[in-house]
Amino acid sequence: MDDLVSFSIRPARRNEIETLRQIELDAFFALRDAGGIPGEPSATSADSLFVMLDNGLLVVAVNSEDRPLGFLGATQIGDELYINEIDVLRAVQGKGLGKALIVWAVEEMGRRRLRRATLTTDRFVRFNAPFYARNGFRVLADDELSSHLRQTLGHQIKCGLDPARRVAMASDKH
């Protein structure tokens, strides 16, 4: 693929859910190869993606032919916008799609007048915590974790993710 990728961000459509799951499976390998996650690929359930879609919190990065190349799915939990998932096809990673999706989430947080956008991620993989830090997120101290973030991190660790690598992050900027 060319170095320059033309794309735009728009709401996801119901008929794209399976495509988004395939994008997530593809992106899994980049994370696994970088040491951020073990095991076999799995994708967010279609039901969970439909809930995000119905709540206006599932967006896609599409190419000039309107084909999804990446997506972001989030959930509003109290006064936080929790980013459940952000994935970009490996073939177009590093081209600005992830950044554009993060910008959308932070802007959506502002539109909804929420306190912060949050996520959990790998501390070390360059396209995880370091990427989010370059885009306005900061690592949260333990006393800054909402009950949801604490539970989410606990669940991820129970599922086999390395607790030394997991971190919760937030952006409070509107």
pLDDT in tens, 38-47: 566 678 899 9
Contact present, 90 and 30 (Cβ < 8 Å): yes
Q: Is the pTM of this model over 0.85?
A: yes
pLDDT in tens, 48-81: 999 999 999 999 999 999 999 999 999 999 999 9
Give CA separation, 31 vs 89, 106, 132, 171, in Å. 12, 23, 15, 22
Q: Rounded to 5 degrees, what angle do the CA atoms 100, 55, 72 make?
A: 25
Tokens of residue 50, six digits: 């439909």
Burial 45-54 (b: 16+ CB within 10 A, else e): eeebbeebbe
- pLDDT (tens, 9 = 90+) of the chain, 174 residues, equals 445 678 999 999 999 999 999 999 998 877 666 555 656 667 889 999 999 999 999 999 999 999 999 999 999 999 999 999 999 998 998 899 999 999 999 999 999 999 999 999 888 777 778 889 999 999 999 999 999 999 998 888 888 777 888 899 999 875
Q: Helix, strand, or coil here: 11? A: strand
Q: Which CATH superfamily groups domain 7-171?
A: Gcn5-related N-acetyltransferase (GNAT) (3.40.630.30)
Contact present, 71 and 60 (Cβ < 8 Å): yes
